Chain A
Amino acid sequence: MNIFLRELKANLKSLLIWSAIIILLIFMAGAKYSAFAGDPELLNMLDSMPPALLDALSMSAFNLTTISGFYGVMFIYFALMAAIAAAIWGSDSISKEERDKTVEFSLVLPVTRSRVVTAKALAALVNCVVFVLITWVMSLVAVRSYNPDQAFYNFLALEMEAMFAIELVFLAIGLLLGCSMKQYKLSGSAAIAIILTTYFMSIMAVMNENLDFLKYFTPFKYFDAGELLRTGKMDGMYLLISAAIVVACVAAAYWFYNKRDLYI
């Protein structure tokens, strides 16, 4: 419990910064939407754009002049931010102890390494939950003036669930990187590299039919906003794959951290 609480406190600053960024994003987007709302000319303009471009920007599935459609386009930005924040929280909470050399204090205490990983992972998880809730609440505030219908609220809830699922996947990946990599400087960059790679894979999977198989390798495609809007639910198989990734990464994280030498 003491590690968990200390960790929460230490993570607070990072959570506040990320929250400020996403709140800014939500309100800037809200201001932008006010220009699109109910504007038929925009639709005509979008229709004249090359379909490949719309695919790349994941805009083809949505009607930008409705709030649901607009939030569908926004989802990928939420997802990217959530992924980056979660991965950094996961990897940093472990690797910062070695970076700051506090590991010679914190792991000479009578604690098992597993207990340390558990406490830190839970603290990072709390950050993830709070981050989603803030995104959710701020979105509700931002769209209030457009009087959205129940369908929008349902879609928003689904998006937030998907955002949380993405956070879980990248939190687990970040945790694994932090626990397994002795070179603490690399674990954060490795996490970002994985996020960007999987993000571009998700774009390639849409743009090129031959690369369609890539969709199985990128969590961004597991929770595609267009599909969420169309089907109204998350795909069971992708949820299963996500759960498998999370379990595998977390198990591997514990295994590596118990086995490896700490970098002092």
Chain B
Amino acid sequence: MSIIEVTDLTKYYGKARGIVGISFNVEEGEIFGFIGPNGAGKSTTIRLLLSLIHPTNGSAKVFGKDVVAHGPEIRRDIGYLPSEVYYYEGMKVIDLLKYSASFYNCDCTQRMHELSETMELELNRRVSDLSYGNKKKVGIVQGLLHSPKLLFLDEPTAGLDPLMQRKFFDLIRAENARGVTVFFSSHILGEVQRLCTRVGIIREGKIVEISNIRTLQQNNYKKVRVTAEGLTPGSFDLPGVTNVQVEDGMVNFFFKGDINTVLQKISAIQVADVTIEEPTLEEIFMHYYE
């Protein structure tokens, strides 16, 4: 069953574009990466799915229920970590977490303490005294304490130090292993690459590509580097070759097409070294944005 089904979802803020005609599905148990630059519409999409804002057009279903009609019911099984967390300033962390827990039909006390321990969160401090990173930790615990079936993470790692980031990713992987579906929005491609199985790339309010991370990498450019004497920029003058750079007897280029044509060319030369790599998500990403 698809946990999230988005059909032709459109949101305009007055005349300003939020997202335009977005459609995608997220399947149960997967970690879906949602990547795009700032202002592409990532947060807008999440807020529509949480029914904090209402669509101009189109519809979205979570757990098979329409988000506008069944928002509160859906949100019982959702955990949300926004990019910037804001809580009632005067409250203590422990009181805030208990307050949050009181809305769910569960006894979350034990889990709350486990999570706080993992994230090294001090429960007796006031929210107003917390640093940005510590508020983020509160957000992580608060978003997970009721054992949600679906997690929305909106640029979750901002403000966390590398150690905490790793703990956080371990936590998300563990949740995912329990069957939790994760919707992971980010513009940091490294973390999406590490965590996600499938990605959707959003740009200027529209989805430009949805695919498996592996296929995305395989069907894309290969990065080729050849070291040999006497190479010139014209040495690999083949169809499908782009971005040729020559330095110190080394040629770098991108290639898309039948890899055999390149291999034949290379085998005709006396080479010192050859590498053929898949591009990083970063490089694919840049390609979509150019």
Contacts and interface: CB of A to CB of B under 8 A. Distances in A.
Contact of A262 (B53, B73, B84): B53
Contact of A108 (B50, B53, B99): B50
B89 A111 contact: no
Interface string A6-50: 100010000000000000000000000000000000000000000
Nearest to B78: A108
A106 to B, nearest CB: 8
Name the prevailing secondary structure of the B interface residues. loop
B102 A108 contact: no
Contacts of B73: 110
A149 interface: no
Name the prevailing secondary structure of the A interface residues. loop
B90 interface: yes
Interface string A223-264: 000000000000000000000000000000000000111101
Given A6-B99, A105-B86, A261 B75 contact: no
B53 A110 contact: no
Contacts of A261: 13, 52-54
A105 B52 contact: no
Given A2-B103, A10-B90, A103 B52 contact: yes
A100 interface: yes
A105 B85 CA distance: 8
Contacts of B102: 2
A110 B82 contact: no
B34 interface: no
Interface string B55-97: 0000000000000000111011010101011111110000000
B209 to A, nearest CB: 27
Nearest to B90: A10
Contacts of A6: 88, 99
A104 B52 contact: yes
Interface in B128-183: 142
A6 B54 CA distance: 27
B53 A109 contact: no
A112 B72 contact: yes
Nearest to B105: A110
Contact of B86 (A101, A110, A260): A101
A57 B86 CA distance: 47
17 contacts: A6-B88, A6-B99, A100-B88, A101-B86, A102-B86, A102-B88, A103-B52, A104-B52, A105-B85, A108-B50, A108-B75, A108-B78, A109-B100, A111-B103, A260-B54, A261-B52, A261-B54
Give 4 closest A-B pairs by Cβ, nearest first.
A101-B86, A261-B53, A110-B76, A110-B75
Interface of B: 13, 47, 50, 52-54, 71-73, 75-76, 78, 80, 82, 84-90, 99-100, 102-104, 142
Given A100-B86, A104-B80, A111-B72, 8 more contacts: A102-B86, A104-B82, A108-B80, A109-B75, A109-B103, A110-B73, A110-B103, A262-B52
